[in-house]
Amino acid sequence: MERKVIETLAKNVAAGESVALISVVSNSGSSPAKCGAIMLVNSSGAMCGTIGGGSLELKVIGEARECIRFGRSREVAHSLTESGGLGMSCGGKVHFFIKVFSAQPRLIIAGGGYVGMELYQLGLLQGYQVEIFDDRESIATKDRFPDAAKVVCGDSVKELTDYPVDSNCFITIATHSHELDRMTLAAVAESGAGYIGMIGSSTKIKKTLTYLLDQGISRETIAKLYTPMGLNVATIQPKEIAVSIISEILLVKNSGSPEHMKTVKNITV
C-alpha cells in the first residue's frame, strides 16, 4: 500500500495536481493510527492509503483538504478521549504531519492591454502559469506573450464559460470594453477560482454588481469578488495598477493582511 501511495503521489505531482501526504508522526495509547502510516489526499477528498480509518481519519482528511486549499503544510494532533471531540475513547494522542504538494498557481488574464501586459510579466516573476484571453488578433499573440502557457484569441465570455478552473486559479479582468468586462465577470463569478477581480470605476462597478444580481448570482458570491481589484497603493500608471492587483492576489492566496511589516512584527524604538 505504501508503494502505491508514493507512486500515486509522484503521478499527481508530475501532472501538476495539488495533493497532501498525511504521515503519522507518533501515537500513544490505543489508536487505529499507527506510527509511519501514510495517506494521500487531493482537494476533493479522494484518497490513497489509510491512517487507520474511522472518525479520526475523516477529521484529518478534512484538515488536509484545508491545507491544500491554502497551500500550507502543518502538524496536527488529536486526543482519542471522550473529551477529544471525535467520539473516541481509545485513550492517548496521535500526531500527524500534513505535507502539501501544491500545483503551480494559474493567473488567468482576460484582457491583454497595458494592465494585462504588466500583470503577465509580474505573474511570470511570481512563478504563475499565465493564461491570456483577448478578442483582438493584434493583442492575443505568442509574439506579445511568448512565455504564456496559453494565449487565446476569442470572446472571453465564451472562452471562460465552463473553462477548467479551481481554487489554485486567480482571474483578473481588464478588457477593452466595460460590457465585456461585466459579462466576463458574470461568466466566472461562480467558477470557484481562488481570486476573481475586475478593474473599474465606482460607477462601472455599481452597474456591474446590479447586472450580476439580475443574472441570478447570489449576494454571497458577489461579496467574494474583488472589484474594483487591487490594493489602494497605485496611481493610474499601468505598472503600479498591476503591482496593486498582484499584491491583492498574494494577500488572498497567502491569507495575509494589508499591514506594514513593522506593525506585524511590532517593531518599536
Residues 111 and 181 in one domain: yes
Same domain, 25 and 81: yes
Q: Please name which of 27, 29, 25 lies closest in space to residue 38, comparing C-alpha atoms.
A: 25
pLDDT, tens digit only, all 269 positions of the chain: 789 999 999 998 888 888 999 999 988 766 667 889 999 999 888 889 998 888 888 989 999 998 987 788 999 998 876 544 555 555 678 899 999 998 889 999 999 999 999 999 999 999 999 999 999 999 999 999 999 999 999 999 999 999 999 888 999 999 999 999 999 999 999 999 999 999 999 999 999 999 999 999 999 999 999 999 999 999 999 999 999 999 999 999 988 898 898 898 888 88
Residue 149's contacts (CB-CB under 8 Å, 6 or more residues apart) are 106, 129, 130, 131
Per the structure, the complete domain to which residue 194 belongs is given by 106-253
Q: What is the rounded CA–CA span in Å between residue 196 and residue 123?
A: 15
Residue 269 domain-assigned (yes or no) = no
DSSP 82: G
Give the distance, in angstroms, between the CA of residue 89 and the centroid of all CA atoms in the same chain.
37
Domain for residue 123, yes or no?
Answer: yes
- 92 and 126 in a single domain? The answer is no
Residue found under cell 508514493: 6
Say whether both 91 and 126 belong to one domain.
Answer: no
Number of domains into which the chain is organized = 2
Domain shared by 43 and 176, yes or no? no
Both 113 and 242 in a single domain?
Answer: yes
> Taking CA 76 as the corner, what is the angle to CA 71 and CA 79, rounded to the nearest 5 degrees?
155
Tell whether 184 is covered by a domain.
Answer: yes
Whether the model clears a pTM of 0.85, i.e. scores above it, the answer is no
> What pLDDT, on the 0 to 100 scale, is given for residue 80?
72
Report yes or no: 168 and 18 within 8 Å, Cβ to Cβ: yes
CA 124 to chain centre: 17
* Nearest by Cα to 196 from 66, 105, 67, 109: 109
Name the domain boundary from 79, 101, 123: 101
Is 259 among the domain residues? no
How many residues are given for the chain?
A: 269
- Say what the pLDDT of residue 223 is: 96
The answer to whether residue 147 sits within a structural domain is: yes
| Residue 8 placed within a domain | yes
DSSP β-bridge partners for residue 134 = 153
Quote the pLDDT of residue 267: 82
Same domain, 13 and 64: yes
Domain end position, chosen among 101, 131, 162: 101
Give the model's pLDDT for residue 91.
Answer: 60
Cell of 235: 496611481
CATH number, domain with residue 138: 3.40.50.720
Inter-residue contact 35 to 51 (CB < 8 Å): no
Structural contact between residues 110 and 170, judged by C-beta atoms closer than 8 angstroms? no
Spatial separation of the C-alpha atoms in residues 65 and 70, rounded to whole Å: 9
Cis peptide before 146 (omega within 30 of 0): no
Q: What is the pLDDT, as a whole number, of residue 181?
A: 97
Q: Are residues 148 and 237 in the same domain?
A: yes
Task: Give yes or no: residues 129 and 232 share one domain.
Answer: yes
Same domain? For 162 and 244 the reply is yes
Residue 215 lies in a domain: yes
- Rounded Cα gap, residues 104 and 123, in angstroms: 11
Report pLDDT for 163: 93
- Whether residue 167 is found in the same domain as residue 184: yes
- Domain for residue 263, yes or no? no
Compute the distance between CA of residue 212 and CA of residue 233 in angstroms, rounded to an integer.
27
User: Domain check: are 147 and 237 in the same one?
Assistant: yes
Domain stops at, among 101, 124, 145: 101
79 bridge partner residues: 93
Q: CB-based contacts of 52: which residues, under 8 Å, 6+ apart?
A: 24, 31, 32, 33, 34, 37
